[in-house]
């Protein structure tokens, strides 16, 4: 069965954005080791799941990067552009993007359908509401939490929708010269 991975940027105090979506706290000057880490977790991915709001920026951004061989992120742009994408939306009726489909079923049914198909890993990118729903329904197998060296006091959390405790097993923690610490957890499904 395929695994669903989450890769998300967070503050030390657990927010993925400020109260109004601010992300000015992100460390953008990544060192080569961190770039290699991202490549290691995305190389075995052949499907990306996205919430609509993030998809509207993510897909066009990486598409433009993939069109410019001089861009330092060209290879990542190609990977994200060429990888099959599934967008979860309640407002769009058809996909506007190449290599992208809209989810046909409700969240857990669609994710479980994707997981049961042949293929490699799946990775999730999204905003607080989309990611919170994935977490709440215990759909994420691997959490790759990119902890940025900033605290913002209040903002958007991905864990605020939980109805009950979820136990996570720490697999690895890695600090990088740029100040980011990546915490890699797996969901403990043994109740």
The pLDDT tens digits for 136-153 are: 999 999 999 999 999 999
**Nearest 5°: phi and psi at 50?**
-140, 150
Q: What is the pLDDT of residue 137?
A: 95
**Nearest 5°: phi and psi at 53?**
-60, -45
- Segments of the chain scoring below 70 in pLDDT: 191
Q: Hey, which CATH number is domain 4-17+29-187, 2.60.40.10, 3.30.450.20, 2.60.40.790, 3.40.430.10?
A: 3.40.430.10
Mean pLDDT over each residue of the chain, to the nearest integer? 93
Burial 143-161 (b: 16+ CB within 10 A, else e): bbbbbbeeebeebbbbeee
Q: Which of these, 27, 80, 39, 75, lies nearest to 57 by C-alpha position? A: 80
Q: What is the pLDDT of residue 97?
A: 85
With tokens 């409700």, the residue in question is 106
d(CA 124, CA 134): 9
Q: Which of these, 131, 191, 145, 189, lies nearest to 1 by C-alpha position? A: 189
Q: How confident is the model over 159-173, as pLDDT tens digits?
A: 988 988 999 999 999
Q: What is the pLDDT of residue 93?
A: 87
Strands 45-51 and 121-125: parallel
Q: What is the pLDDT of residue 191?
A: 62
d(CA 149, CA 109): 36
Geometric angle at alpha carbon 80, from 78 and 86, rounded to 5°: 145
Q: What is the pLDDT of residue 76?
A: 86
């Amino acid at each position: 069965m395929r695994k669903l991975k989450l890769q998300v940027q967070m503050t030390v105090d657990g927010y993925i954005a400020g109260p109004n979506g601010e992300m000015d706290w992100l460390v953008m000057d990544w060192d080569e080791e961190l770039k290699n880490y991202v490549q290691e977790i995305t190389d075995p991915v052949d499907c990306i799941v996205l919430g609509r709001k993030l998809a509207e920026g993510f897909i066009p951004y990486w598409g433009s990067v993939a069109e410019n061989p001089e861009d330092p992120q060209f290879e990542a742009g190609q990977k994200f552009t060429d990888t099959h994408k599934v967008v979860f939306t309640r407002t769009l009726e058809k996909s506007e993007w190449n290599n992208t489909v809209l989810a046909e079923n409700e969240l857990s049914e669609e994710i479980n359908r994707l997981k049961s198909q042949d293929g490699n890993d799946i990775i999730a990118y999204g905003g607080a509401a989309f990611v919170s729903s994935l977490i709440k329904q215990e759909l994420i197998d691997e959490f790759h939490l990119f902890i940025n060296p900033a605290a913002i006091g209040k903002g958007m959390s991905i864990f605020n929708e939980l109805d009950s405790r979820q136990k996570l097993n720490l697999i690895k923690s890695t600090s990088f010269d740029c100040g980011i610490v990546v915490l890699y957890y797996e969901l403990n499904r043994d109740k």
